[in-house]
Structure 1
């Protein structure tokens, strides 16, 4: 009986696919590290700013179809971004640390983006991180180790995708073994890619670019885009790259496109347990979703938008046991923990290490709202003072490390205090095995309305788009 029931489900799924129009335009949007609480916390924070209990919904949580995805890898119940990215890109499980290869680490597996390219679609890859980072790489590269950045960049050239947009390629001349290789940017230009550095440079070059790689300005010297909470007008944003990608992929193209957009810096903020910065990153990803949605409104019968996550990061918990939340206090944090750490380093240099306690209090008041907007207990002030004494009086310059950052102890303690006042806690500085949310809108969206494995998502996209 169970076998007959299963056959009917498969048959029904196939008939649904065959009977509907194909998705000509596909937006595959991935919030790296964006678990359920990162989303819910962002919506509750926005509601608290409006003086109410509940949520102010993000655009993508209002999509008509919602599902959940399991995220385990072939080697662990807790995935890393390489294995999760490969699953989301190719529909195949692999071991942690592996890009675009099956679990033997030998056989290549090919992404939905490659299939789209083979069907004559234009293809774009967009991220707020480095273009050779794990998630974007999973859509075009095949390497046994995620930190083979030079080799991954060479795979980007081989892919012949039409648009790449992100911070940079991180090792343009250094092979995995440490030896020097031919500059990948020169090779990209030889293959017909126009390289643009910053949005103004993109606008100058886009009219004559058949294939484009848009990166942050060279002088910014960033491996990842600036956090949204720290960004100024000179910094490239994920929304700008998204707009550029759509412009590039639709020019002189009547065959459709596939566009992957990754909010990769959500993950970085969560690895640092920086709640205010993580929330700002989720809001920032929502800005790219709005751009995709605007496109959908002009092509509602031809467009599919998927918003999901590769995994949850940090084990974010909303509420610390008191049946209360105070998320609105996070509004007083105006820069990331990492940027605060940089300001402390700058202060040390400016004052030749003769930094006073009043200097630190003034800095934390200005950037975190401590004392000026956020009342401080004697114990909280003591914690920060002890870090000040250890750092500036005793000269202990040891920094606190998370996966992507090394931060001054004062900045970490200040962030901890603000998190506690918001009643937000974290279980780790790494990934968890929580469900990944799946939101869908447009052609074939109804096929995502269930509990699924993460490998199901690209397989359904492949069928819905006719790749």
Structure 2
């Protein structure tokens, strides 16, 4: 009897479509909701709402509700139905918002010839204000600055006495801290675009994306947008915005604070997008001038003849291209500073070695401390406050290149900029929230120390446990930067996720990439004993760069522990530390999702995103 009852019940549900997707050979349409399930929103913050229906057979009806109310009525606008031409029909409403805090459930049901299929998304909407609110926020992002990267800087900058650190980094003295998780909604290990985008929007995204949810189209500019921090603080309060970096100013982390695209590589588009009034930064500083100059000019990386630098000048910006011009720029005008065609040179090469083969004609690039100083001088002129993102960009880039010494000197420089901002805040009312965080981690770790005092070289000279005597970095002028990046006892840094490369633990006098690309045929790979299944006649693989190997030096060939199509050290999925001080910093404690950085900032500022400044 029970079996007959169950059979009748199942047949009844199939007939009405509620189990169509569970019956072999019967598949109702797929339904996808953007923003994704479990997203969190700031009340009043704008976003694009999108329902995608795919694999439908004679689609009959799509029903979309928010808390049981028809979506078009809830949002106050009709959802635009559009056939995307790829087997997907989109139902979309742009620039909508949740006006009040609370819990919201979106339900979308698509009915076609095979039955009905539904998807749900549950959202949390908040509107919090700190008891003591901040006027300004400075978000320091040490790109790739994992806990180990901080420790490397602390060891060589502050030194140790009998196992105790002589001092801590400025960032480590902040009163509030937490651990930040870093994954996106598409993958465990993220990139800088997606991770920085969470800080700017409070929403997770996918690898390579900035301020959007990924839709099903190939177009990188049509994905559903979420309003970012630059847009919210300008729209709701009229605050100023500063984007300061040592990378190209259109690179992933700075671009995440302002831009919207599925592909971070669209840097010429991002440079143009910076001009838009509703989110245009008042201060932009970094490298990447090649993204701003017309295609007709030598060195340009644009795909058109737009002169973005001139358009910024036309909007009243001072344009500077070196340190001397930057320091002399007026504080009462917005500033565009582009100090290198690509990424700016790192501290060791700019300030210590000064090798003309490395620097070329760019011998007057500013340091991050002075870039911070100038940006605060300009941004603080706005009585309504400011938001500044200041990035230590090449911590990440040099760890990718497996050059921990250059990465560490840049971490020290980054910490000096933080120290300046802390002092500035105390002198200007102590009303600024300062946050220091990485966007993601790297798998570089301190094994012990390295020395050749007893004649051992290479891996044999890596000292562990009781043999790991303390490094001998010296700092004669006490500026925090060791005089010699290659003392006789140095750190033994090893990597958890690396390509094939040569290692000898010594400092490289010129920056050198760890790998070079080679084209390998299937036959060549098989003859070399490579058991990898190559699906093409030939493939490009990454091999150890011979330029890192010199005859007579104890270079070790270290086999890859990641696929041989990857040419540099990779990000890690590790949690990263966050430190904070100032109004609202008490928000950060325990283990928090990376999206919470955005909500901590909004809470500290007491932003009401339902308002529009005229």
- Alignment TM-score, normalising by the size of structure 1: 0.74
- Quick check: 1:430 aligned with 2:566? no
Partner residue in 2 for 1:456: 596
Summarize the Cα distance change of 1:271–1:52 in structure 2 as closer, same or farther, 3 Å threshold: farther
Greater C-alpha radius of gyration: 2
The alignment covers a number of residue pairs equal to: 389
Deviation at 1:329, TM superposition (A): 5.3
Q: Select the structure that is richer in strand.
A: 2
Measured after TM superposition, the shift of residue 61 of structure 1 is: 0.5
Query: Secondary structure of the equivalent of 2:234?
Result: helix
**1:95-144 per-position Cα deviation (integer Å, ceiling 9, x unaligned):** 10111212336111222222222211111111111100000000111111
In 1: Cα distance, 2:127 partner to 2:205 partner: 30
Confirm or deny: 8 A CA contact 1:23 1:304 kept in the other structure. Answer: yes
Summarize the alignment of residues 126-145 of structure 1 with structure 2, pairs less than 5 Å apart.
Answer: 126-145=244-263
Answer whether contact 2:245 2:393 (CA < 8 A) is retained.
Answer: yes
* 1:254 aligned residue: 383
User: Which segments of 5 or more consecutive residues in structure 1 lack a partner in the other structure?
Assistant: 1-9, 333-365, 376-382, 386-397, 421-425
Q: Distance in 1 between matches of 2:503 and 2:280?
A: 52
* Mapping for residues 182-201 of structure 1, pairs under 5 Å: 182-201=306-325
Identify the residue that residue 225 of structure 2 maps to in structure 1.
108
- Residues in 1 aligned to 2:265 and 2:313: alpha-carbon distance in whole angstroms: 23
Q: Secondary structure at the match of 1:235?
A: coil
Report what 1:228 is aligned to: 347
Provide the residue aligned with 2:403 in structure 1: 274
Bigger shift: residues 141-150 or 224-233: 224-233
Aligned-CA RMSD value: 3.8
Alpha carbons of structure 1 residues 46 and 384: separation in structure 2 relative to 1, 3 Å: closer
CA 1:75/1:326 → structure 2, altered by over 3 Å: closer, same or farther? Answer: farther
Distance apart, 1:167 and its partner CA: 1.8
Query: Residue 111 of structure 1 contacts residue 140 of structure 1 at CA under 8 Å; is this kept in 2?
Result: yes
Name the SS of the counterpart of 1:123 in structure 2: strand
User: Which range moved further: 313-322 or 156-165?
Assistant: 313-322
Q: 1:53 pairs with 163, 175, 184, which one?
A: 163
Q: Give the number of the structure with larger relative contact order, counting CA–CA contacts within 8 Å between residues 6 or more apart.
A: 1
Whether contact under 8 Å (1:26, 1:259) holds in the other structure is: yes
Q: In 2, Cα distance between the equivalents of 1:75 and 1:271?
A: 22
Specify the alignment match of 2:337 in structure 1: 214
Tell me the alpha carbon deviations over residues 303-328 of structure 1, each in whole angstroms, 9 at most, x when there is no partner: 11000000012433443782254563
Instruction: Measure, in 1, the Cα distance between the counterparts of 2:287 and 2:550.
Output: 29
Q: Equivalents in 2 of 1:282, 1:128: separation in Å?
A: 12
Unpaired runs of 5+ residues, structure 2, are: 1-100, 103-124, 352-362, 449-461, 476-482, 491-501, 505-511, 518-541, 563-567, 608-614
More helix by share: 1
Q: 1:45, CA displacement in angstroms?
A: 2.8
Q: 1:26 to 1:399 in 2, by over 3 A?
A: closer
Determine the structure 1 residue equivalent to 2:374. Answer: 244
For residues 67-466 of structure 1, the aligned pairs below 5 Å read 67-104=178-215, 106-118=223-235, 119-158=237-276, 159-172=279-292, 173-174=294-295, 179-206=303-330, 210-216=333-339, 221-232=340-351, 234-251=364-381, 253-299=382-428, 301-319=430-448, 322-323=464-465, 325=468, 328=471, 373=488, 400-401=514-515, 409-411=546-548, 429-466=569-606
C-alpha distance in structure 1 between counterparts of 2:472 and 2:584, whole Å: 41
Whether the 8 Å contact between 1:35 and 1:436 is mirrored in structure 2 is yes
SS in structure 2 opposite 1:30? Answer: strand
